[in-house]
A = this chain, B = another copy of it.
Amino acid sequence: MGLGYLCTRVRTSLADPVIRWKVIALMGGKMIGLALVLAAMRIFIAPAVYAADGPTPEMNALNTMWVLIAAFLVFCMQVGFVMLEAGFARSRESINILVEGIVDTCICGVTFWAWGFAFMFMDGTPWIGTHGFFLNGIPDTYLTTGVPLLAYWVFQFAFADTCSTITSGAMVGRCGFWGDILYSIGVTGFIYPIIGHWAWGPDGWLVVMSTPFRDFAGSTVVHTIGGAISLAGAIALGPRLGRVFARDGGGPMLPHNIILGAVGGLILWFGWYGFNPGSTLSAMDVQGIARVSFNTTMAACSAGLMALFIVYQRTKKWDLGMTTNGFLAGLVAITCPCYWVSPAGAFFIGIVAAFVVVYGIDLLEFVRVDDPIGAVPVHMMCGIWGTLSLGLFATGQYGVPTPTGMDASVVVKGLFYGGGATQLMAQAIGSGAVTFATLAVAFVLMYAVKATGTLRVSRAGEIEGLDLHEHGMLAYPEFSVHGSPRLTHDIPASGAAVAAIAPVPSRAPSV
């Protein structure tokens, strides 16, 4: 039945009007059917072929890339933290800060692998996760995020490390290094992951409350915990030798390199763009990541400006340190509510944060706590404010992020937007519970370390300078440095202190 025959047959058949009519009818029917099929496809299949089955591989890759890049930015905050702390400290204790920042990171990596992640992010009890040690026996992706477990781990490691570094802030300049190692293990291995589990674990007790406590990116979990441990540490340590408080006629010791410190602050701001927007764990929630980025920016700006003017009005000087602490305060405060508030909400949350940090610093000075970089006011106090602010400013328009976009069925609404006090109450419960529990445990930890005799360096060591004493080095051996003026005037052996800041005459051969 060759092609020629077929053509002839078709031509002949079509010459017959009846057959022609039938063919036309048949073809018309086919066309109608085709149109119906195409319409059905548009309606039933197009809106996302996968939607029924969850995120596509592309979506998972998008979300994973987002989480990893955010993790890298959060890691970059370590650069900012060590610069901030070292710059605001005296040169004699700046190497100590760098070693501490690096070693805390290393310890955190190991403990968070071995058990920290399991305690915090695995289920078990409302108080602590009970499996997944060394990441054994955990599925490849974290819960329903579609994000690989190891990517999520890197992100959360960077968070844990942040908490650990915040802790060191108020303890600058007089903490022995064995003490630092011990308390660091306590922080990243136990306090942070266990208390963090309450708020961020899949079955944490603050999560399963009828109105859940919400802490989007960690005003409470990272910043309040870190700041509260820092406060306990500063109290357990006591102030640095020679530190005279304002009510006794003194004031804070001078930063040795405020340029370094402020640049570190700006790098923290940069890294915060990983901290907050990355906490969606989803790039598919495009409006969410945009909103979080915007609110993060706005709160930092308003808080920085407000702090500048508060201090200017007092001293007629445009203070760099307070402006830096100001924008950091705004960043800490917006970290909890950044997903749920409007631009105007972010603006006002920042404004209030500026007052919190400025008066918080006053308060600490008044109660004679030596916090060289303002870790307690910035992180603990503004963390509390930010956590509560969600209960006031949440607009009720935004639900929670999911791997494919926003789940609008969840409502988070604050007092000022007609949501009543329910969310505010949940925030108060969460913030209060975490703060008090952390303070309690941290005091136990710090006094336990103190009991080992390793928490504070010896008086002679502190006069020699922490860097020389613990690390055998000076930060700037080629430069002529004079000791901080505040250090000398109440220590008899001031000559010794100054002499110590001459270059090291010899050092271990191989290092």
| Neighbour of A304 across the interface among B71, B106, B286, CB < 8 A | B106
User: Does A472 lie within 8 Å of B95, measured CB to CB?
Assistant: no
> Does A511 interact with chain B (Cβ within 8 Å)?
yes
> Does A291 interact with chain B (Cβ within 8 Å)?
yes
User: Does A62 lie within 8 Å of B69, measured CB to CB?
Assistant: no
Which one of A217-225, A264-272, A381-389, A411-419 is at the B interface? A264-272
> Does A496 interact with chain B (Cβ within 8 Å)?
no
> Does A314 interact with chain B (Cβ within 8 Å)?
yes
> Does A345 interact with chain B (Cβ within 8 Å)?
no
User: Does A293 lie within 8 Å of B154, measured CB to CB?
Assistant: yes
Cβ of A311 to closest chain B Cβ, rounded Å? 6
User: Does A327 lie within 8 Å of B106, measured CB to CB?
Assistant: yes
Closest B residue by C-beta to A405: B57
Cβ of A251 to closest chain B Cβ, rounded Å? 5
User: Does A477 lie within 8 Å of B256, measured CB to CB?
Assistant: yes
User: Does B246 lie within 8 Å of A509, measured CB to CB?
Assistant: yes
User: Does B477 lie within 8 Å of A79, measured CB to CB?
Assistant: no
Which one of A11-19, A96-104, A124-132, A432-440 is at the B interface? A96-104
Q: Which residues of B contact A260 (CB under 8 A)?
A: 259
Contact string against B for A residues 36-75, beta-carbon threshold 8 Å, 1 for contact and 0 otherwise: 1110111011111111100011111110111011011101
Cβ of A23 to closest chain B Cβ, rounded Å? 11
Q: Which of A44, A57, A82, A470 has most chain B Cβ within 10 Å?
A: A57
User: Does A343 lie within 8 Å of B134, measured CB to CB?
Assistant: yes
Q: Which residues of B contact A365 (CB under 8 A)?
A: 509-510
Q: Which residues of B contact A73 (CB under 8 A)?
A: 72
Cβ of A399 to closest chain B Cβ, rounded Å? 15
Using a CB-CB cutoff of 8 Å, which residues 353-402 of chain A contact chain B?
358, 361-362, 365
> Does A490 interact with chain B (Cβ within 8 Å)?
no
**Measured between alpha carbons, how far is A45 from B41 in the docked complex, in Å?**
8
Q: Which residues of B contact A66 (CB under 8 A)?
A: 65
Closest B residue by C-beta to A33: B30
Cβ of A272 to closest chain B Cβ, rounded Å? 9
| Neighbour of A157 across the interface among B149, B283, B297, CB < 8 A | B297
Using a CB-CB cutoff of 8 Å, which residues 287-326 of chain A contact chain B?
287, 289-291, 293-294, 297-298, 300-302, 304-305, 308, 311, 314-315, 317-324
Q: Which residues of B contact A320 (CB under 8 A)?
A: 95, 98-99, 102, 471, 473
Cβ of A362 to closest chain B Cβ, rounded Å? 5
Using a CB-CB cutoff of 8 Å, which residues 69-123 of chain A contact chain B?
69, 71-73, 75-76, 78-79, 82-83, 86, 90-91, 94-95, 98-99, 101-103, 105-110, 113
User: Does A150 lie within 8 Å of B106, measured CB to CB?
Assistant: no
**Measured between alpha carbons, how far is A511 from B309 in the docked complex, in Å?**
13
Q: Which residues of B contact A78 (CB under 8 A)?
A: 266, 270
Cβ of A408 to closest chain B Cβ, rounded Å? 14
Closest B residue by C-beta to A482: B478
Other 10 A-B pairs with CB < 8 A, given A60-B286, A98-B263: A41-B45, A65-B65, A65-B289, A82-B263, A105-B301, A134-B343, A135-B343, A251-B508, A254-B478, A480-B480
User: Does A256 lie within 8 Å of B293, measured CB to CB?
Assistant: no
Contact string against B for A residues 337-351, beta-carbon threshold 8 Å, 1 for contact and 0 otherwise: 000000110010000
User: Does A273 lie within 8 Å of B503, measured CB to CB?
Assistant: no
**Measured between alpha carbons, how far is A103 from B304 in the docked complex, in Å?**
7
Contact string against B for A residues 150-162, beta-carbon threshold 8 Å, 1 for contact and 0 otherwise: 1111100100000
> Does A144 interact with chain B (Cβ within 8 Å)?
no
> Does A407 interact with chain B (Cβ within 8 Å)?
no
**Measured between alpha carbons, how far is A171 from B103 in the docked complex, in Å?**
29
Q: Which residues of B contact A510 (CB under 8 A)?
A: 246, 251, 314, 358, 361-362, 365
Cβ of A326 to closest chain B Cβ, rounded Å? 9
Q: Which residues of B contact A40 (CB under 8 A)?
A: 34, 38
| Neighbour of A317 across the interface among B46, B153, B506, B508, CB < 8 A | B508
Closest B residue by C-beta to A365: B510
Known contacts A263-B82, A286-B64, A481 near B484 by CB under 8 Å: no
> Does A24 interact with chain B (Cβ within 8 Å)?
no
> Does A448 interact with chain B (Cβ within 8 Å)?
no
Q: Which residues of B contact A59 (CB under 8 A)?
A: 58, 61
> Does A212 interact with chain B (Cβ within 8 Å)?
no
Cβ of A264 to closest chain B Cβ, rounded Å? 9
Q: Which residues of B contact A140 (CB under 8 A)?
A: 287
Cβ of A280 to closest chain B Cβ, rounded Å? 11
User: Does B273 lie within 8 Å of A317, measured CB to CB?
Assistant: no
Cβ of A296 to closest chain B Cβ, rounded Å? 9
User: Does B251 lie within 8 Å of A509, measured CB to CB?
Assistant: yes
Cβ of A380 to closest chain B Cβ, rounded Å? 18
Known contacts A154-B297, A290-B148, A82 near B266 by CB under 8 Å: yes
